[in-house]
A and B are shown apart, each in its own frame.
Chain A
Amino acid sequence: MHIDLRTVAIEPQRNTFDHLVRRFGDKPASRYQEGSYDIQATENLHYTPTWDPEQALYDTSITKIVLKDWYVLKDPRQFYYNTYTLTRARQQDTAESNFSFVESRGLGEMLPEELKSIALNVLIPLRHAAWGANMNNSFICGYGYGTVFTQACMYQAMDQLGIAQYLSRLGLLLGDTEALNAGKAAWLTGPAWQALRHYVEDCLVVRDPFELFVAQNVALDGLLYPLVYERIVDGFLSSKGGSAVAMLTQFMNDWFDETRKWVDAVMRTAAAESDQNREVLQAWTQKWSSRAAIALRPVVELALGTQAEETVSEEVASFNARMKKIGIDL
């Protein structure tokens, strides 16, 4: 017998789960809310970590930032696994057609040799910086508190791996494995890269998840992406006829535009909660962004030469303005 169940009009017994009713009122919840709020264990944790008996398994006190409720750090993109994956799948579609466009038309071969080598010199060592960013965000996800904050860090970690892989493909396309080898050698010993590598390695030993968020996602990315992808690739290289490179890095530009909104929301909310938080965030941002500016200058010089100093100052000024808007005075 076929039963048409759709014709049965029955009343739901409740709108959603108890913890969501307490947070948002007695109404149906969104999938973002269902998948993100209060799904991490919080109480009655059974054992302290053998790897660090001083901390709890999920511990709000391993960072200097204090929040009454860590679930205030809502992601304005409302990314949960589904929306995150679907968004990136669309972007990778575009990236894929950009790569095949450049490849099938031989645009890489047509690039003037000088521009090509600038592009490779600047971009390829950055695949290692992106790997550092990946590890840092995996750390923040692992040790940070509250799913609305930490899941976004896992997405950020995987995005940085994706970026490292796009950069590697760009290197293979424009300069084959030699380009990757040269980029790695520059990262390890090239004078232009040692300050940046020092910065990234210093991040790898920071174990306050929120400070690491500031050092990586706020300060370093906040200067690196505008400088490298806007000023050098989209600005300098494109104006000289190297717009093929910009096609291959479109993902990075779109990604930075999107993720900075999340980064800003996290900073704004944490700073707004208390003067103490604001002071800590200001001190961290000051410390790490001034270091990032110094570390990036020799990298920018690889492309812009004597223009580098001015360009970096401009971007520092606009970074400071961006921070001011979210309540971080530098």
Chain B
Amino acid sequence: MDTQVTKKKLGLKERYKLLTRDLGWETTFHTKDEVYPYVKYEGIKINDWDKWEDPFRLTMDAYWKYQAEKERKFYAIIDAHAQNNGHLNLTDARYLTAIKMFLQAISPGEYAASKGFARMGREFGGVGTQVACQMQALDEIRHAQTQIHAISNYNKYYNGFHAFSDSRDRIWYTSVPRSFFDDAMSAGPFEFMIAIGFSFEYVLTNLLFVPFMSGAAFNGDMATVTFGFSAQSDEARHMTLGLECIKFMLEQDPGNLPIVQRWIDKWFWRGMRILSLVGAMMDYMLPKRVMSWKEAFDIYGVENGGALFNDLARYGIKPPKGWDVAAGAIEHMSHQLFLGLYQWSFGTAFHGWIPSDDDMEWLSAKYPTTFDKYYRPRWEHIKKLEAEGTPFKNYGLAKLCQTCQLPTVFTEPGDPTMMCHRETEYKGEKYHFCSDGCQEIFEHEPEKYLQAWLPMPALFSELNGDIGAWMDWVGLKNGVDNGDYVGSQDQINFDKWRGMATSNKQS
């Protein structure tokens, strides 16, 4: 056959360019400022959107094809998991505490990220950036949905999952991640990218997902392992997008550096506060431990983070301001938070418990300089009260940090015996903080953070302190979802069902 028309051989990069950024054009009926109204007000200068380097090159047909393959596998596995009572493979039902927290606190964040990236997919002034953000918007819908679908089967058999949609907007501890995502979404497009694209997806993601997924693998949770694996290649794309974004901003204009640095400082600190939940999960909630929170931080925080910030040093970026304080608190944060969660377990849609003797041995070994000295004595005291029939419960009001919304349970840098508490007066009102980092974030944008919805005062102003009415409102079933794991329905049912599988006992 005569194929006289010799087509130009297009390189991959050139071809992708034609299939994406060549689609855009300079508008003439409306100015750029009208079409992209939000790209300037944060003070970031972009001189040439064309300098954007595509972090990955995926056309839609290829996207559909690859993602569909992953979707088929994912749903085949979770269908089988549900049909075969895969939940009885768990090491112990107390493991599900981690997954309850995940569904209540993290999955809604996946969805918020999807909305945020859809907005960025429209607001940025360059096609390459827009397309990358749009694909992430689509991926994040996927993550929210695959997580809900994977966890759906646990909800059928165990408590604490059923009200995740209500508790997302109402229960006190979910306002930690909710305020984090609301903060990012109420910021401008560039700060959003540093907050979610860079700090969350790049710096912190390994400290969040790797512990959850390996915890799941160690504890027989195939459903969670499956959604984690299935999201891995999406996450790889998201990480390269986050990194490209920060490099792009820094390369575009030297004036961008101080703005970006301040955002890195802020979002690192906000992220570390959320990660305290992961720390408590790793050190206390997994029946079979993977590694300690401290070990995870050493590998994924110190080693990987160090390499990253070495790489960014050529742009003048310094490691986040709160890094040393955060690293110094690693030996304490999980213990302090889990002690808090235990005493407020009447108000959480997951169970608390006193660590067993074996657990405490493990904690001593992992935290040789801190656990026996500061935290074992407190657990021993709590254990004694429990044995005497007067369990230690705190029905009082936890004072929440105005910025990160965690209860102020953390101690002073360098002095684990002193509670850390900061206060700022602004326009005649007093605001409370858990740390210098959170206080500084407030003081930089007080008009923003004074708007924060604080769940505890709301309980008192709207419900007159009526705990029962509050529980109805947040979807918490007293004596079912909350309280001690020992003696809970989850424990009784799991043991009974496992018994049926391993003996001739029938219910």
Interface of A toward B, CB cutoff 8 Å: 1, 3-8, 10, 12-19, 31, 34-35, 38-51, 57-58, 80-82, 85-86, 88-89, 91-93, 95-96, 106, 109, 127-128, 130-131, 134-135, 138-139, 141-143, 147, 150-151, 154-155, 157-159, 161-162, 164-166, 168-169, 172, 176-177, 180, 184, 187-188, 197-198, 201-202, 204-205
| Cα(A1)–Cα(B503), bound, Å | 12
Asked if B115 and A34 make an inter-chain contact with CB atoms under 8 angstroms apart, the answer reads no
Asked if A57 and B182 make an inter-chain contact with CB atoms under 8 angstroms apart, the answer reads yes
Asked if B84 and A5 make an inter-chain contact with CB atoms under 8 angstroms apart, the answer reads yes
Asked if B23 and A130 make an inter-chain contact with CB atoms under 8 angstroms apart, the answer reads yes
Binary per-residue interface labels of chain B (218-241) against chain A in the complex, 1 for a CB within 8 Å, 0 otherwise: 000000000000000000000000
Asked if A138 and B121 make an inter-chain contact with CB atoms under 8 angstroms apart, the answer reads yes
| Cα(A1)–Cα(B90), bound, Å | 15
A12 CB contact (under 8 Å) in B86, B111, B157, B183:
B157
Across-interface contacts of A5 in B (CB, < 8 A): 84-86, 88-89, 501
Residue B131 at the chain A interface, CB threshold 8 Å:
yes
Asked if A138 and B137 make an inter-chain contact with CB atoms under 8 angstroms apart, the answer reads yes
> How many Å from the CB of B286 to the closest CB on chain A?
21
B163 — nearest CB in chain A belongs to which residue?
A18
B21 — nearest CB in chain A belongs to which residue?
A131
> How many Å from the CB of A163 to the closest CB on chain B?
9
Asked if A8 and B88 make an inter-chain contact with CB atoms under 8 angstroms apart, the answer reads yes
Known contacts A131-B127, A154-B138, A165-B60; A39/B29 CB under 8 A: no
Asked if A41 and B169 make an inter-chain contact with CB atoms under 8 angstroms apart, the answer reads yes
Asked if B23 and A201 make an inter-chain contact with CB atoms under 8 angstroms apart, the answer reads no
Asked if B71 and A82 make an inter-chain contact with CB atoms under 8 angstroms apart, the answer reads yes
Asked if B162 and A18 make an inter-chain contact with CB atoms under 8 angstroms apart, the answer reads yes
Residue B158 at the chain A interface, CB threshold 8 Å:
yes
Asked if A184 and B156 make an inter-chain contact with CB atoms under 8 angstroms apart, the answer reads no
B187 — nearest CB in chain A belongs to which residue?
A50
Known contacts A34-B152, A44-B170, A202-B29; A162/B108 CB under 8 A: no
Q: A10-B500, A184-B22, A205-B35 are in contact. List 9 more A-B contacts (CB 8 A).
A: A12-B157, A47-B179, A89-B65, A93-B65, A138-B122, A154-B134, A161-B134, A169-B19, A198-B29
Asked if B134 and A138 make an inter-chain contact with CB atoms under 8 angstroms apart, the answer reads yes
Asked if B185 and A35 make an inter-chain contact with CB atoms under 8 angstroms apart, the answer reads no
Asked if B24 and A131 make an inter-chain contact with CB atoms under 8 angstroms apart, the answer reads yes
Across-interface contacts of A131 in B (CB, < 8 A): 23-24, 127
Across-interface contacts of B27 in A (CB, < 8 A): 201, 204
Q: Which one of B28, B29, B111, B127 has the greatest number of beta carbons of chain A within 10 Å?
A: B29
A161 — nearest CB in chain B belongs to which residue?
B60
Asked if A31 and B149 make an inter-chain contact with CB atoms under 8 angstroms apart, the answer reads yes
Residue B67 at the chain A interface, CB threshold 8 Å:
yes
B445 — nearest CB in chain A belongs to which residue?
A50
Q: Which one of A15, A39, A58 has the greatest number of beta carbons of chain B within 10 Å?
A: A39
17 contacts between A and B (CB under 8 A): A3-B88, A12-B157, A14-B156, A17-B162, A19-B166, A42-B169, A45-B182, A81-B146, A134-B134, A141-B115, A141-B118, A142-B121, A157-B118, A162-B59, A164-B19, A172-B18, A176-B7
Asked if B165 and A164 make an inter-chain contact with CB atoms under 8 angstroms apart, the answer reads no
Residue B296 at the chain A interface, CB threshold 8 Å:
no
Q: Which one of A18, A81, A92, A130 has the greatest number of beta carbons of chain B within 10 Å?
A: A81
Asked if B156 and A165 make an inter-chain contact with CB atoms under 8 angstroms apart, the answer reads no
| Cα(A187)–Cα(B114), bound, Å | 32
Asked if B141 and A44 make an inter-chain contact with CB atoms under 8 angstroms apart, the answer reads no
Q: Which one of A31, A41, A169 has the greatest number of beta carbons of chain B within 10 Å?
A: A41
A99 — nearest CB in chain B belongs to which residue?
B61
B152 — nearest CB in chain A belongs to which residue?
A34
| Cα(A177)–Cα(B24), bound, Å | 16
B164 CB contact (under 8 Å) in A3, A17, A92, A161:
A17
Binary per-residue interface labels of chain B (125-168) against chain A in the complex, 1 for a CB within 8 Å, 0 otherwise: 00100110011011001101110110010011111011111101
Across-interface contacts of B131 in A (CB, < 8 A): 161
A174 — nearest CB in chain B belongs to which residue?
B5
| Cα(A15)–Cα(B162), bound, Å | 10
Across-interface contacts of B64 in A (CB, < 8 A): 85, 88-89, 91-92, 162
Binary per-residue interface labels of chain B (483-499) against chain A in the complex, 1 for a CB within 8 Å, 0 otherwise: 00000010001000100
| Cα(A204)–Cα(B33), bound, Å | 11
Asked if B149 and A48 make an inter-chain contact with CB atoms under 8 angstroms apart, the answer reads no
Asked if B142 and A10 make an inter-chain contact with CB atoms under 8 angstroms apart, the answer reads no
Shortest Cβ-Cβ A-B pairs, 5 listed: A89-B68, A162-B60, A142-B119, A35-B145, A142-B118
| Cα(A186)–Cα(B84), bound, Å | 60
Known contacts A13-B159, A35-B149; A85/B30 CB under 8 A: no
